[in-house]
């Protein structure tokens, strides 16, 4: 299922905002942890450019083949794959399912 095609990784405004909040929260309490987590997070999301199809499907979206997720403790990153891009859609706690508006936003017909 792995793909060798390179795609551009783009971020939705929502995912950008969520990632920023996570890093800011970590930075206030543990700067070293925030730095290491951010570096790991960026490596893993950037790697989606080459291996986006290796992620697991999101359980809330079982019939949408182009929607995937990766776990980056303590969050999961949900993304959509197209021919030329991987769009980071949202960042969620593993315990929180997608809201209906997130589940349906931009995913129709996938």
For each of the chain's 110 residues, which pLDDT tens digit applies? 454 568 999 999 999 999 999 999 989 999 888 899 999 999 999 999 998 877 677 766 666 678 888 998 889 999 999 989 999 999 987 665 555 444 444 444 44
Instruction: Determine, yes or no, domain membership for 79.
Output: yes
Q: Which residue has the tokens 């795609």?
A: 7
* Total residues found in the chain within this entry: 110
Q: What is the CATH number of the domain that holds 100?
A: 3.30.2310.20
Residue 109 lies in a domain: no
Residue 55 lies in a domain: yes
Range of the domain at 42: 8-104
Q: How much is the pLDDT for 66?
A: 83
| Nearest-angstrom CA–CA distance, 9 and 1 | 19
Residue 4's pLDDT is: 57
How many independent structural domains does the chain possess?
1
> Is 110 part of a structural domain of the chain?
no
2 belongs to a structural domain: no
């Amino acid at each position: 299922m792995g793909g060798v095609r390179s795609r551009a990784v783009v971020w939705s405004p929502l995912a950008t905002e969520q990632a920023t909040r996570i890093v800011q929260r970590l930075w206030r309490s543990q700067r070293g942890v925030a730095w290491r987590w951010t570096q790991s997070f960026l490596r893993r999301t950037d790697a989606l450019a080459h291996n986006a199809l290796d992620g697991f499907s999101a359980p809330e979206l079982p019939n949408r083949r182009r929607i995937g997720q990766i776990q980056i403790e303590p969050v999961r990153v949900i993304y959509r794959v197209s021919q030329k891009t991987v769009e980071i859609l949202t960042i969620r706690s593993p315990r929180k399912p997608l809201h209906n508006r997130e589940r349906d936003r931009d995913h129709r017909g996938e």
